[in-house]
Structure 1
């Protein structure tokens, strides 16, 4: 099988992480990097071993040798960047949050379907092998019937310029809060009856900390917190009728530990060795493309839209609209 010729759109920090990851993947070629600056693209290509460097995104997508484009630009740019890829028939792995809002997501996915072009959201936790391990342990009844979960994710990142800028769809929710939300949906599913949420604001008008409570139709409850002001424990805790499970790092599952009714540890599982964790979403794309799919089963388009609609509703509750909306 030939190597997947992968291109990266955007040459920032997350693009660097992906570049380092695919450098260690035998079935992926570091083919092209695209930036709005040729100088930056050439520096990136030189540092990470990419064969081609383009000083515009338009040049990148016109390259017919590109098998997959990883979009690593700010949230506000995903919609237009992905549209550009689809218009040129280039398959897309788009970094989370998929778009800035649900309307953009729906339009983008409809466009991709009509064009017959593959696209998926790069919410990497959806592709991690540990997710299936967590689900299996819960299905086996190790903590009885799960009834509640909590998930927290916070980093001291409020000084990052793009996160403070409304015009770049900044704020904690799309950057950090998307992980607790996905954790709840991955574990408890999408049958949510009610969402109540609150946030605090930066001086630029985006959310800096937020908290949401999800009430499920079957009575389950999920309490989710995210912050760009403070460092959190990153834990996801699932509470059941016979015990509870602690998942370390909901941003890249490191381990799960199960406790019984007496709060005694009865099981511990560490995650398998990995490059960075990003490799699993790339491998999922390769399989989907080989099978002729237009989406990845790990993150179906319907689930991407569900997440975007929930985040839209939370922002509406907070009175936050981006300037371009």
Structure 2
């Protein structure tokens, strides 16, 4: 299936590299075909650097190309809601970079809109599609660390020089950009929590630069999560049980895990299966589901996309953060 990339930034380049590598190893399901940027010069430069056959100087122009079958949305997340609808209007299937939108209301409206037009749409939260998700779950369920009771996870990068991070009109802040990864990690291990609490520190524009989030479950389990847009973290996720603990190296793209018993002895170490970039799994599942006529991908069903947006809406309400771009076309 021919992929068009909407946007020509860093994440778009990772997807282009992924599709090229998939083709180089003989995979025929997904083909890198086109890129669109807001000016033709940038699109042509991206196409030349990443071996993209077609370059377009507007998003609408690429979407009018009947050869484009799937669109990967790689624009700033403040634009995702509009761009999902724009792609659906042109009958294109959609793989949208995280966060899916900036609010649950936008997510629900965009999903309804796409479904009404008969196209698949799925959120590209890559850790949901990767095999390490299953490997981590199986390791926890093996009982080697006992009954899991506590979880910690963190993700932070220094990104204060990026406009999309520091400005509310671009839905900036740590939560939507990196905070969703600890949230996904915790829920992939423990399931949906019974209570969510969050605190943050803000920049002068009023968006969160650091987040401290606590999830609790009625059975006593707790997850303590940290995210930052102004500091580099170790990116570890740790699951603590009654007999030991399990450490995951890089919750943003898990590269392996180690299980340690209550004496500090290493029980087992499991490496991440070889990967191209880590994006290939979401691409393969998207193509497979389109061919099967499904409206969503099982690794990241629509209900989970909406749920995670609801969690972040709830946290933003506690933190006192609103975005000018939260509006929807639905007046309800």
2:248 corresponding residue in structure 1: 247
**Offset, 1:217:** 3.2
The CA distance in 1 between the partners of 2:113 and 2:220, in whole Å, is 37
Unpaired segments ≥5 residues, structure 2: 327-332
Is the contact made by 2:171 and 2:325 (CA closer than 8 Å) also made in structure 1? no
The CA distance in 1 between the partners of 2:242 and 2:292, in whole Å, is 41
* 1:158-183, Cα deviation, whole Å (9 max, x unpaired): 12121111111010111110100110
SS in structure 2 at match of 1:287:
helix
Is the contact made by 2:47 and 2:55 (CA closer than 8 Å) also made in structure 1? yes
Match of 1:48 among 41, 47, 50: 50
1:17 aligns with 2:18: no
Normalising by structure 1, report the TM-score. Answer: 0.97
SS in structure 2 at match of 1:84:
helix
The CA distance in 2 between the partners of 1:64 and 1:237, in whole Å, is 47
Q: Structure 1 residues 140, 158: closer, same or farther in 2, change over 3 A?
A: same
1:74 corresponding residue in structure 2: 76
The CA distance in 2 between the partners of 1:55 and 1:131, in whole Å, is 38
2:313 corresponding residue in structure 1: 312
SS in structure 2 at match of 1:23:
helix
Pairs aligned (count): 321
1:229 corresponding residue in structure 2: 230
- In angstroms, what is the RMSD of aligned CA positions? 0.9
Aligned residue runs from structure 1 range 167-316, under 5 A: 167-190=169-192, 192-316=193-317
**Offset, 1:120:** 0.3
**Offset, 1:324:** 2.7
2:39 corresponding residue in structure 1: 37
Q: Which is worse superposed, 98-107 or 45-54?
A: 45-54
Match of 1:85 among 84, 87, 101: 87
SS in structure 2 at match of 1:250:
coil
SS in structure 1 at match of 2:252:
coil
The CA distance in 2 between the partners of 1:292 and 1:172, in whole Å, is 36
2:3 corresponding residue in structure 1: 6
2:330 corresponding residue in structure 1: none
The CA distance in 2 between the partners of 1:187 and 1:291, in whole Å, is 29
Unpaired segments ≥5 residues, structure 1: none
Q: Which runs of structure 1 show a deviation greater than 3 angstroms over 4 or more consecutive aligned residues?
A: none
Aligned residue runs from structure 1 range 129-168, under 5 A: 129-168=131-170
